[in-house]
Amino acid sequence: MDAEVAELIGDEEGNLTEVSLKSGQMLRADLLVAGLGVLPSTDFLLATDIILDSRGYIPVDKVCYFSLVKKPSHNQIFYPIL
């Protein structure tokens, strides 16, 4: 989807009612969900043993533990992010 929001329109009570797109299209809306991108600020971790992926993120497992092992193996030790 390649649409850009031009304006959010609400009623007199401040509730969202419509979204105006830059293309001129109007969309009825009750709710707006905004996804905003962020860049990790992890440059200071380059001098540590914490592993960063190619995008600069700290890879974690399914419970948000990260590893201090530079070369992944089957017996990695993960530490909790607190």
pLDDT in tens, 1-36: 578 899 999 999 999 999 999 999 999 999 988 877
Residue 34 in tokens: 């905004």
Strand pairing report for 26-28 and 65-67: unpaired
pTM higher than 0.85, yes or no? Answer: no
Which residues contact residue 6 at a Cβ distance below 8 angstroms, ignoring those fewer than 6 apart?
20, 21, 22
CA distance linking residue 1 with residue 18, whole number of Å: 18
Average pLDDT, the chain: 82
Sign (positive/negative) of CA torsion 51, 57, 61, 63? positive
78 has which bridge partners? 67
